[in-house]
Structure formats: C-alpha cells, structure tokens
Structure 1
Amino acid sequence: MALLEMTGVRKAFGSHVVLRAVDLEIEPGQCVVLIGASGSGKSTLLRCVNLLETVDDGVITFEGRDITDPRMDADAVRSRMGLVFQSYNLFPHLSVLGNVTLALRKVHGVAAGEAEERGLAMLARVGLESKAAARPDDLSGGQQQRVAIARALVTGPGLMLLDEVTSALDPELVGEVLDLLGELKDDGVTMLLNTHEMGFARDVADTVCFLHDGVIHESGTPAQVLDDPSQERTRAFLSRLRA
C-alpha cells in the first residue's frame, strides 16, 4: 500500500487554478522530488498534503486514511508529518535544543527529560549537538536549516515534506543540507520535496515529477525525466535551467 496517494487533486485561489487533477503515489522509504518553474504548484502541493491548504477536489490518502475528509483531525495528521520550509521558521527566543524539543513536549506530551534526550540525539544526528545551547541567530543558514530538519525528524514522522529547503542558503551552504538529505534517504526516511538542485534530484530521488501549470506533465526515474524526457515542456524547462 502506498504511504501517500493523491488522486485528482485540484486547488484554486479564486479564479487562479494552481493544481489541476494531480495524481501521485509515494511508497514507504521513497524520495520523490518535484521540479518545475516558480508558480507551477510545487509548494501548494506540499501545503495540501500537510492540510495547510484545503483541496477543492480529489482525495489525499495518508497511512491508509482519507485525510481530505472534513471530519479528519488536521492536527493529528500533521503530527505524523515533518514539514521544513525554506525560511527555517525557528523561534529566535528559544535555544537550538528548545526549538527541536518544542513539538515533542507541547504536541506529543513527551516528558521534559525524555524530550531533551531525544533532542540531543537528533542534534547529534545532524552534526549540531555542540550547538544545543546556542540561539538560532548564532548559527549559519545551513546550520539553521539542519536544526529545522532535526525539529521535523525528532517526532518520528511517517513522511517528511521539504519546501525548497536550500533556496534561501548561500551557495557554499547548500551542500551540507543536501548531504544530510542524502543520508536521510539512505536511512529509509520517506521524503517529498521540491528543489531546483538537479544534481541532488539525479543522485537521490527515486522518482522525479515535473510540474507545469498545476499538472504533473512527466514523472519517472531521474534518468528518464532529467536525461531523456519525453515531453517537450520538460525538455524546455531543463534547457532553461542548464542555460
């Protein structure tokens, strides 16, 4: 059974249709990468999966449940997903460890001692245990993004959603975040992310989906989509990137 399945998903803002009839499946342990120009619907798709946006039509099934059912507890669904934004969204008044353990304590009801233990272990996992007492403003952009990823991972989510997590970083910091995502893939973490980093998509993704005008125009292995695309729109997009 697919971990996540989107069937006929449509989302519009007023008269502007952002997603139209999107179908997508993700198996446990897969890394699925969304590519496409700005405005193609990639971020909206992630927000619909996390129920930050309500779909206008279609069904999203996660862990065997229809999460687009209006009776579904959205907070309960979100507690099973980790969402990382491009802008980190760390709380500046909390320490690094405080940021990482906040959801454990406040949402999942984990006792403070256990939350701290799990938080420190996760910070060690992303190479930042020595920064546990620091404030986010004391960290580089790459370090802040790794903290944000640790915060999303520490609750043990079934699915990680990553929204252009390297786009706000200086070029020299991109590699450290992409290396971490590659390690997460090797560890079997299921990920759905959008990115403009084609090298990462080629090396790490199981499936690459090209979005254009709110539709998945082409999907397949990285070799199929990035090296030998069948659709003219995919070829044109990749040509613009390479130029």
Structure 2
Amino acid sequence: MTELNVLTIEGLWKGYRGRHVLKGIDLEVAPHEVVCLIGASGSGKSTLLRCVNLLEEVDDGTIHLEGAEITDPRVNADDVRKRLGIVFQAFNLFPHMSVLDNITLAPRQVHRVPRAQAERSARDLLERFGLGDRAGAYPDQLSGGQQQRVAIIRAVATQPKLLLLDEVTSALDPELVVEVLGVIKELKNAGMTMIMTTHEMSFCREIADTVCFLDNGVLIEKGPPAQIFTDPQEARTREFLRSVMESGRF
C-alpha cells in the first residue's frame, strides 16, 4: 500500500492587488522527504510556505495535509497549525521568556501537555542540539545562531507532521550558519518531513530529496539534487544556477 503524502498542493494560485505571486503550483511531499525551494528573491518561495501554514488565503487550488483539504474555508486554521511547525528568518522568540519557557509554551498551552512532561522533552531537545546549558537563558543572552536553533527546537517540540523553514540562515553571520544547518541535518536524519527555502545551494544539494526551482511564481523545474544542479532541463534553471555560481554562493 502506498503511503499517503504528507502534503499535496494542486493548482495553487495567489495574488496581491492584481499581481499573481504563485501561478498554478503543483507539489507533493512524501513522509520523511526534504523539499528545498530555490529561486531569486520575489519568486514566491516564502508565499508558498505562508499558504501552506494558512497565513495567506489562497485564490485558487487546494492544499491537502495528510489527505485532508486544509484550504476549505470551513477548516479551522488553528487546528491545522497545531500539526505544522514554521520557522522564519527572524527568530521571533519571546524576549521576556527563558529558552525553556519559549520552547514549552505551545506544548503546554496549545497541546495541553503537562508542564513537567513538556519541560523534560524540551531539555532533551536542548541537549540533543547542543544547548543543554542554555535552558534558563533569555534570548538577548544568546548568539544569533543559538536563537535560531532555539526557534527550530520550539517548532519541533510539538512534534509537527511537517516543518516549514523560511530562509532560516539568511539573517545570520556566515560563521553561525553552520550550527543551524547542523540542526536541520540532524532533523533530516531523524526522519522529519520538511520544506525549506534557502539560498545555501551547497547545503540544499546535500540535504534535499527534491529541489524545486521557482521563478516569477511558477514552479519551473523539480527533481533530485543531482539532476537539478548537474543537468537542469530548463533554460531558466540553468540561467539561475549560473548566476548563483558567478556570485560565489555555490
């Protein structure tokens, strides 16, 4: 029996003030798959993630999460978001809360996990990702890389069915990027299903199962990293990768 896709997007359109940002996107994400979205700024990558998380209302098309349509207007968006995790380039940690409280807030308040259990799980995650000694620290006492690692830990603390990562390293100094990418690699090894937007082409090539190139709201090409980066079939994909290589980002 074929395992049900975690996510299925069919014919997704989204526009703002008469300008189409996403144009008929089709995408399937299998369990434990890592999908990387690449493309120039403004190509629609972040908007696609926001539509999946129901932060944006789609204009046409459907999104199914584990077989159930979530773009139906009757669907409770908050219930859907309980099954998703999302991390943005801005860390968005609560500055007045400790690391431990940031991580346990959603498990306790949204998922009704007892405090002791939530804190035990949070400490286990902090240890796993090299932050075991920072549970009592506050966000302004952490480096940017540490803050982003905490943001990712907070997102996975609710055991989401799908993790969305939107340019999570773009706000970091280069020396801090490696530690955040290490967390993502560990999550992949543990079987987390993920969609991530990134400009880190080398990392994308290493971690992705499927790479999707978006250009001007259109999903131009998708395939395994070896095909996309070594033998892209579309001229626009080749042009984009050539410009990335010339800029030194690959």
Query: What's the TM-score once normalised by structure 2's chain length?
Result: 0.96
Provide, for residues 103-125 of structure 1, a one-character-per-residue CA deviation record: whole Å limited to 9, x for no partner.
01111111211111111111112
Q: CA RMSD in A?
A: 0.7
* Match of residue 230, structure 1, among 233, 239, 245: 233
1:204 matched to which residue of 2? 207
Matched, 1:10 2:13: yes
The separation in 2 between residues aligned to 1:165 and 1:233, in whole angstroms, is 25
Query: What's the TM-score once normalised by structure 1's chain length?
Result: 0.99
Stretches of 4+ aligned residues off by more than 2 angstroms = none
2:125 matched to which residue of 1? 122
1:27 matched to which residue of 2? 30
The separation in 2 between residues aligned to 1:226 and 1:88, in whole angstroms, is 30
Aligned residue for 2:226, secondary structure, equals helix
Matched, 1:43 2:46: yes
2:186 matched to which residue of 1? 183
Provide, for residues 203-233 of structure 1, a one-character-per-residue CA deviation record: whole Å limited to 9, x for no partner.
1100000000101100000011111111111
5+ residue gaps, structure 2: none
Report the number of matched residues: 243
Matched, 1:54 2:57: yes
Provide, for residues 69-127 of structure 1, a one-character-per-residue CA deviation record: whole Å limited to 9, x for no partner.
11111001000011001011000000000100010111111121111111111111221
Aligned residue for 1:237, secondary structure, equals helix
5+ residue gaps, structure 1: none
Q: Where do 1:109-148 residues align within 5 Å?
A: 109-148=112-151
Matched, 1:174 2:177: yes
- Return the offset for 1:128: 0.7
Aligned residue for 2:56, secondary structure, equals coil
The separation in 1 between residues aligned to 2:98 and 2:11, in whole angstroms, is 42
Matched, 1:193 2:171: no
Give the % identical residues: 59
The separation in 2 between residues aligned to 1:125 and 1:145, in whole angstroms, is 15
